[in-house]
Amino acid sequence: MAGQETFKTETLEPLIEQAQAGQLHLFFVDAAHFVLLPFLGYLYSLTVRFVRSSSGRKRFNVLGAFNAVTQELVTITNHAYINALSVCDLLEKLAAQFGGLPIVLVLDNARYQKCKLVFEKAHSLNIQLVYLPPYSPNLNLIERLWKFVKKQVLYNQFYQDYELFYTTIVDCLQQTHTTHREALQTLLNPKFQSFKNVSFQP
């Protein structure tokens, strides 16, 4: 908890202030893996009920970079898996679109994001990588977006086929800066909860 608080006050908040002042582009990066399975909400019944579900376990992967100020979302997607090459593709895409100012990425410590290949690509593109303290998803702004997307298009839903499943997710992601902008304004405000005063009860 102390490490999170130090990172928040000494690293994250100054970066956010610089981004809001127009001195740099600050992106929060993370991958979401959407699996074609039933997504249940709350179900209470006195009798047995059968819920329709898909037979496979196909998944749609999204590696996203969310701009803390403009709320723009840049993505790399595939139907296999996310790896270091995916991260490098995202870095190149960001450099091409936002090269006018310094680019800073806030990431977790997944191995495919914290490896020599990614370090070298970021260095060549003059992109700064800032890694979160361990076990700190609460400090990664894009995590809130993934939860929003799941609530919007997955909970209590059944998708007959995989194509409909992933196109619905893509449509939702493409509308984060338009249709869903108002709903996301408060949720994606770059302010973070502090756990410095949390106490545990036995």
pLDDT by residue (tens digit) across 111-121? 999 999 999 99
- In order of 28, 45, 54, 100, the CA distances from 137 in angstroms are 11, 34, 29, 29
Confirm whether 195 is domain-assigned: no
The yes-or-no verdict on residue 200 having pLDDT over 50 is: no
The four Cα atoms 148, 151, 157, 162 give a dihedral, to 10 degrees, of 20
Confirm whether 21 is domain-assigned: yes
Q: How many CA atoms lie within 13 A of 114 on its CB side?
A: 12
Confirm whether 179 is domain-assigned: yes
Confirm whether 177 is domain-assigned: yes
Q: How many CA atoms lie within 13 A of 44 on its CB side?
A: 0
pTM (2 d.p.): 0.86
Q: How many residues can be counted in the chain? A: 202
Confirm whether 199 is domain-assigned: no
Confirm whether 167 is domain-assigned: yes
The yes-or-no verdict on residue 57 having pLDDT over 80 is: no
Give pLDDT tens digits for 19-30: 999 999 999 999
* Residue 88, domain extent: 2-36+55-187
Structurally, the chain folds into a number of domains equal to 1
* Per-residue burial over 26-51, b = 16 or more CB atoms within 10 Å of its CB, e = otherwise: bbbbbbbebebeebeeeeeeeeeeee
Give pLDDT tens digits for 103-159: 999 999 999 999 999 999 999 999 999 999 998 999 999 999 999 999 888 887 888
